[in-house]
A and B are shown apart, each in its own frame.
Chain A
Amino acid sequence: MAGKVATKPRSVLIVGVGGQGVIMMSKVLALVCQRHGLQVKQSEVHGMAKRGGGVFSHIRYGETVSSPTIPKGEADVLLAMEWSEGLRWLDFLRRDGGAFIADTKRIVPPFAFRSRKYGSQPIYSPEAPREVMEMVGSGFALDATKIAAELGEPRAANTVLLGVLSTTLEFSADDWREVIAQNVPAKAQEANRLAFEAGRDWADASRASTMEDRLRELPGRDELAAEIAPKSVQFEITGEWCKGCDICVKMCPERCLRLNDEQIAELANPEACTGCRICEWLCPDFAIRVHRVPVLEPVA
């Protein structure tokens, strides 16, 4: 081995959200590689990842493979099963012609809804498929679930993506067909066969069209929701009516109320108050009023 420089392995990065089947997809690719006697390393991380977090799997194959992980900027293919996860790993893609295969499906995490202030919008990547594909320059963005649903089996979306993936790698279509057939239960054979061919056909058709046409078909940025004028919250309590029953304090979703020394409710943490009005509705003595007051722009 002295001094010998190994031929560079090929690298495929498959990413998605826990439960989408990232590991299953990797397994299919690894099996295809093994049919050709190639060395394959497939690396993933277990543990917290499955709790709704992002999941990734590095697959590298070739005559010899050293690092189990793909160096940044060296993935030949980045296959994203969820739109924003694809964006997260985009820098791993080879800049000189690496293929970005992205399902445009969006899985919006609970974290996106964490601000519950007046006028808040979900926090999800604003970049739309059209602008990202234009930026990356090579690859495919598709709604695999829709393609699979048109075949009558939305659950075969992953196999549609495998069909697209198969057109970007050097293995024959039959290699893929056979491995998929071996790894799919009997009753799902036909649906997955169709889904695989649909993925291939879609990719071929996409290649046949011009970049401009392809971009035109992709979704652009969402129309921005109409700007909502900000409002501030004012908490008003009629002290004489409050009997210190503590209901509002205990039920406040943001835990921003407390009883003061005189056992009267007060807003202890105005920053946290979202103005949801639960305290107003729950107060048995009508002692609380929540006002949402427009914030006036200073006049220039």
Chain B
Amino acid sequence: MDAKVQTKTSKGHDDAEREGLDQAGIRPMIGNEAIARGAWEAGVRVAAAYPGTPSTEIMEFLGTYPAGDSHVQWSTNEKVSLDVAIGGSFAGVRSITAMKHVGLNVASDALMSQAYIGVNGGLVLVVCDDPGIHSSQNEQDTRMFARFAQVPVLEPADAQEALDYTRRAFDISEEFDTPVILRSTTRLSHTRSPVKTRPRTDVEPRGFNEDTVKNVIIPAHARMAHPRVLAREVKLQEFFASPEFTRWEEGSTEIGIITASTAYSYVKEVLPEASVLKLAASYPMAIDRVREFYEAMDRVLVIEELEPVIETAMNAAGMPVEGKAFFPRDGEFSPEVVREGLRKAGIIEGAEEQVPFPVTPTARPPVLCSGCPHITSYMAVRSVNARVAGDIGCYTLAAVDPLRAIDTCVSMGSSIGNAVGFAKAGLETRPIIATIGDSTFLHGGIPALIDAVYNNANITVMILDNHIVAMTGGQDHPGTGKTLRGEETHRVVFEDMVRACGVKWVRKVDSYDMASLYQALREAIEHKGVSVVISDRPCVLDPVKLKGSPMQVAAAGCTACQSCMNLGCPSLGWSEEVLDGYHKVRIDETTCIGCSLCAQICPSDCIRPVVN
């Protein structure tokens, strides 16, 4: 069982279906489902996203609502998805985009402009942060981005608030003429709790707003817009002072806690007796209300996950306050972290340190799947002793044991540009390879490939085409030929696209054909200039979980050389049998999918299909 949304996307608009959806009720939902529900209830008409943990399920859940209610799509990247949502807003309908925190970096160019332009139809960006870095490359705090872009940010603490705030975000967007960020975190997005639902409000489309001065952000117009943005900040500060958005929970006045987001739930767990000011928005902060609370308390602490956004704003407003002196700026909060901070602050007694049980758990890092086509791609890369720029995807796992085939990994699409830099630095004597997945290539690799050709960089690009966005649980993209709702559409042909970028040496190889892949890679490296190898094989998990008849090791022939163990395939392990100090290999037939990669690599040819 995984967390993947059942992809029963709705293609039509069935009245009975709609009636069922409109019924109010209480249902358990993860935060992401509640956000999708909130958007649907708010009458959203255009929705676009690029998948990214922990935000992915939002668009998948929106896709389960009737197609007649909302257009829901995967975009090629987060900037495009925001531009699509902005387009929907210009056109006069409520629009939403969802992304992970680092996705906002990609989309930020459009956001910074749109913050000045404002909205026509309500415009909401859902941005899911990843405190603790469960599945990301950093733990940047989107609230800093909201402050930077001067757009309001709502921070729900549980699934019910996720739904309610999403609904309200559209109202706020339209009332204050601003994009609104709804900020979730991994914990909220993936925690299931009961949520009260309501019917959908069908919002009348506003029609295009023919105001060129507003819609076209040229310097003259931007200069007029900026004061509006500053005035908006003040109005929002007043608006957020209402109890709906700044909740004062009375308790002991000896200690007052100001908090937001999931940190609130840990505060209630650990210090239920304290007075709490729970902010729905760290920016623009309801500063007057915060001051009232501050003055009513003997001592005030700010407990916020990641960056000291509230704390800094309070200090700047002349309210010296404690927070990050006791609570970390990095990592995910938990009741333990909050308790430890309160102990450091002298507010609660230090609990006696529990002596850990003296046990040694087994290290169990994530691995590529049995039969994963990326395995051979990186076996081939290893064989040519290259300097390798990696990228973002499941295949980043090839950086660690046993493949150890990637030297760098930066951000979506960085590999190709990085490789150009390696080449132009002029120091590398080894071949230079950039490895990039199909969806990552479409997301951010194409401009870099054109750059490489334009500047005649002597590099080889390997596109790992597994026909899906695998890492986030199997979403469609322009290279799969299917839309989010499963409709057939144009399918990107990678060879054509690469040639159109000006690449002269292109070859597509079946990832499972190891000899051809090795051969193609060697020839590609010989080519002076940009060469592209497309390593092509569908993901073994999505859209269909593949299972063929398994392989087995003829133990008599196994020399225990363990060459096959370099694949890192989870179906391969050691048998009890030891030959001269080395374990022979066995294959777990229940998980082996029969890809034959180990058989292709076995020097003693002792791995064969199981014959029943």
Instruction: Mark A residues whose CB is within 8 Å of B.
Output: 1-6, 17-19, 21-24, 30, 34, 39-54, 65-69, 71-73, 84-85, 87-88, 90-91, 95, 108-114, 116, 118-120, 122-127, 132, 135-136, 228, 231, 250-251, 253, 255, 274, 276-278, 281-282, 292
Contacts and interface: CB of A to CB of B under 8 A. Distances in A.
B603 A111 contact: no
Interface string B221-255: 00000000000000000000000000001111000
Contact of A66 (B1, B269, B382, B574): B269
B207 to A, nearest CB: 40
Given A5-B273, A124-B362, A277-B559, A110 B581 contact: no
Contact of A30 (B28, B272, B362): B28
Contacts, number: 225
Contacts of B569: 110
Contacts of B572: 110, 113
A126 B184 CA distance: 40
Given A71-B336, A116-B565, A118-B581, A48 B366 contact: yes
A228 B581 contact: yes
Given A50-B2, A69-B335, A111 B367 contact: yes
A39 to B, nearest CB: 6
A278 B561 contact: yes
A112 B357 contact: no
- A-B pairs, 7 with minimum CB distance: A47-B135, A88-B361, A51-B366, A66-B268, A71-B335, A67-B269, A47-B53
Contacts of B65: none
Contact of B336 (A72, A114, A120, A231): A72
Contact of B566 (A17, A24, A30, A253): A253
A4 to B, nearest CB: 8
A249 B266 CA distance: 56
Interface string B37-65: 00000000000000001100000000000
Contacts of A42: 28, 191-193
Contacts of B270: 67, 71
Contacts of B218: none
Contacts of A67: 265-266, 268-270, 334-335
A213 B443 CA distance: 61
A228 B187 CA distance: 47
Interface string B577-604: 0001111000000000000000000010
15 contacts: A1-B249, A21-B1, A40-B28, A42-B192, A44-B3, A46-B2, A52-B366, A87-B357, A109-B362, A109-B365, A109-B367, A110-B569, A112-B363, A113-B583, A274-B562
B568 interface: yes
Q: Is the interface of B mostly helix, strand, loop or mixed?
A: loop
Interface stretch (B74-82, B311-319, B394-402): B394-402
B364 A66 contact: no
B360 A108 contact: no
A34 B28 CA distance: 9
A1 B357 CA distance: 38
B8 to A, nearest CB: 17
Contact of A41 (B193, B357, B363): B193
Contacts of A114: 401-402
B609 interface: no
Given A114-B401, A114-B402, A2 B574 contact: no
Given A39-B194, A66-B266, A124-B362, A250 B249 contact: no
A113 B574 contact: yes
Contacts of B365: 53, 109, 111
Contact of A231 (B1, B335, B581): B581
Contact of A84 (B54, B361, B383): B361
A51 B394 contact: yes
A29 to B, nearest CB: 11
Given A49-B366, A72-B336, A120-B583, A110 B360 contact: no
A44 B369 contact: no
A50 B187 CA distance: 17
B359 interface: yes
B354 A250 contact: no
A46 B2 CA distance: 8
B309 interface: no
Given A51-B394, A72-B354, A278-B563, A113 B573 contact: yes
B361 A3 contact: no
A153 to B, nearest CB: 15
Contacts of B603: 251, 278, 281-282
B372 to A, nearest CB: 9
Contacts of B273: 3, 5
Nearest to B272: A5
Contacts of B251: 2-3
A255 to B, nearest CB: 7
